[in-house]
Structure 1
Amino acid sequence: MTKTFELNAYLGERRKLVDEAIVRALPDGGAGDPGRLKEGMRYAVLQGGKRMRPLVIIAACEAVGGAAEAALPACCALEMVHAYSLVHDDLPAMDNDLERRGQPTVHVAFGHAGGILVGDALLSQAFMALMRGADRVPAANLVAAARVLAHHSGVDGMVGGQALDLALGQDAHDLAALEQVHALKTGALYAAAGALGALYAGADADTVQSMETWGLKFGIAFQHADDILDDDQKALRAQALARVDQLVGECDALAAPLGDKAEPLRAISKWVRDRAHAAAAGVKAD
């Protein structure tokens, strides 16, 4: 590109598209809302956040020749899955968190049973949202998208990672074991993001696989950076920082054949590397 790529401006523009699409994809509250369930779903999803997973979907879609608007159904679906996972993680049986982003968590605001049901409803709604792309995406790609989302959000992905995380705790002394958790709990949804972006661009299987791999590597690096930022897993700090550099380099190698269209992907991976190094130096960057 002939001018410096402005990541913040790019993310801000795409985040606005995502936020507007999510509002449309969620069920409207009010009359006919059983037990305030629809209200709880909107509460869980619409309280902000970076929207990094949907933004990776869009960046991957654009990198392989698609348009941001075409990827919005997948963006909504993945963010609903992410939101449901947070609702359930916050429950007393899990992390027992009382606040998220400065607001009461869903189970505090809507009750413990309400928190379980809101999470359940968001997971179902995610697949409804995914199907909104039926008129824009080849049928085979839409089927593959449903398979990708189910795989990476289930026992072989995010849910399995949460189970491993509960077993491992915050005192890991083996990087491979820690990365197994990161690959499932965090990396899986980013792998889904890369694959979904390519699928909603109408890409072929090889390209989808490449973007899925990009997402997995980015997701592991992202979680290592978060660990450093949150001062977690202290025993593995130096190894984790070195792995961030390695993983980001591997992401950049995957993006290289895509040329200028992949500039947002490269900027996003650079952001996570810079975030990790800033945190390691004691600078708490968002």
Structure 2
Amino acid sequence: MVASSEAFDIRLKTNAQEIEALLDALLSNDVREDEIARPESLRAAMHYAVLNGGKRLRPFLVVESALLLGGDKEAALRVGAALECIHCYSLVHDDLPAMDDDKLRRGKPTLHIAFDEATAILAGDSLLTYAFDIIAADETGLPEQSKVALVLALARSAGLGGMAGGQALDLAAEKNTPDERGIVTLQAMKTGALIRFACEAGAMIAGASSDDRKRLRAFGEKIGLAFQLADDLLDVTSDAATMGKATGKDVGRGKGTLVSLRGIGWAEAELRRHVEDATQLLEPYGDAAATLAATARFVAARKS
């Protein structure tokens, strides 16, 4: 169950291109049915927020998980695009002065710098809303029951008990450093919830069994943990030029991370363990899961 590094890179890049083409079309000037108008300043800001680079890891996980279980690729691309809208909205709002107050994202000025704060807030609001529009639309070729289930799962992953709640805990951590259990909970919500959804969504798109859905969900949880550990390691070992954003932020703000709590050596070992656990979950699928297994390794080995 091994995919070559070159084959994986090509597959990841191809998927990113497909997702970006879809997002570009979704964020065009064309007014959709029941829309009144698309203000150009807001549309341009949303386009800037979404189409400014990135690996498109989350939609890649949606598509690959769906294909593993026989799901429709076009439907998976649309769900992946919806998830990317949620992810990008979260970055726009996280970068605001009231949140993390960042000036750089993926090597470019953050949205509130390139436009203004009010436009950044509205762009984030609109991307959040648009995500559910994309899933529910007739163009997403899935049974209505599947669409409802996906909307519910995404809402739970993105809201109070998921990503947004995790950001609230992250802000609170600047004043009161959480213990290890608190850090794990914060990271599972802020970062892990959307990655978990990406993998479970693939099984939902495919109409897979509850066992497959649970297995892919567990896989997503494991690589979500790996992703955040890798991110925390990069925050202390990399630089802004490589990362395309500021580094050393957590230390500067006094936030606790598992790296600061347990040390780099422990974090690197834990990262390897999460990847091993993730790949073991895929063993029942044999060679068909080679790309997902390669994704777990990629998450741990990335440099930005």
State TM-score, norm by structure 1: 0.88
Render the CA deviation track for 1:120-170: whole Å, top value 9, x for unaligned: 000011111112466522332211100110000001100011111112249
Render the CA deviation track for 1:165-184: whole Å, top value 9, x for unaligned: 11224996743222111110
Contact 1:172–1:235 (CA under 8 A) maintained in structure 2:
no
Identity of aligned residues (%): 40
Q: Which position in structure 2 is the counterpart of 1:39?
A: 44
User: Whole-Å Cα distance in 2 between the matches of residues 3 and 93 of structure 1?
Assistant: 43
Q: Which position in structure 2 is the counterpart of 1:200?
A: 205
Q: Which position in structure 1 is the counterpart of 2:214?
A: 209
Contact 1:60–1:198 (CA under 8 A) maintained in structure 2:
yes
Aligned-partner residue type, residue 7 of structure 1: F
Cα deviation for residue 239 of structure 1 reads 3.0
Aligned-partner residue type, residue 28 of structure 1: N
User: Whole-Å Cα distance in 2 between the matches of residues 239 and 170 of structure 1?
Assistant: 25
Aligned-partner residue type, residue 262 of structure 1: A
Q: Which position in structure 2 is the counterpart of 1:162?
A: 167
Aligned-partner residue type, residue 246 of structure 1: R
State TM-score, norm by structure 2: 0.83
Aligned-partner residue type, residue 10 of structure 2: A
Report matched runs for 1:1-286 at 5 Å.
Answer: 4=4, 6-28=7-29, 32-34=37-39, 36-132=41-137, 136-169=141-174, 174-231=179-236, 233=257, 234-236=260-262, 237-275=264-302, 285-286=303-304
User: Whole-Å Cα distance in 2 between the matches of residues 135 and 183 of structure 1?
Assistant: 29
Contact 2:93–2:124 (CA under 8 A) maintained in structure 1:
yes
Q: Cα–Cα, structure 1 residues 251 and 3, in superposed 2: closer, same or farther, change >3 Å?
A: closer
Q: Cα–Cα, structure 1 residues 110 and 68, in superposed 2: closer, same or farther, change >3 Å?
A: same
User: Whole-Å Cα distance in 2 between the matches of residues 163 and 103 of structure 1?
Assistant: 25
Contact 2:2–2:293 (CA under 8 A) maintained in structure 1:
no
User: Whole-Å Cα distance in 1 between the matches of residues 186 and 296 of structure 2?
Assistant: 20
51-60 or 251-260: bigger deviation = 251-260
Render the CA deviation track for 1:31-76: whole Å, top value 9, x for unaligned: 9443711111111101111111111111111121224333011111
Render the CA deviation track for 1:218-264: whole Å, top value 9, x for unaligned: 11110100100111543323332232222212211221112222111
Q: Cα–Cα, structure 1 residues 241 and 171, in superposed 2: closer, same or farther, change >3 Å?
A: farther
Q: Cα–Cα, structure 1 residues 216 and 133, in superposed 2: closer, same or farther, change >3 Å?
A: farther
72-81 or 11-20: bigger deviation = 11-20
Cα deviation for residue 85 of structure 1 reads 0.3
Cα deviation for residue 201 of structure 1 reads 1.9
Q: Secondary structure at the match of 2:282?
A: helix
Contact 2:3–2:291 (CA under 8 A) maintained in structure 1:
no
Consecutive unaligned residues of structure 1, counting only runs of 5 or more, are 276-284
Q: Cα–Cα, structure 1 residues 245 and 203, in superposed 2: closer, same or farther, change >3 Å?
A: same
Consecutive unaligned residues of structure 2, counting only runs of 5 or more, are 237-249, 251-256
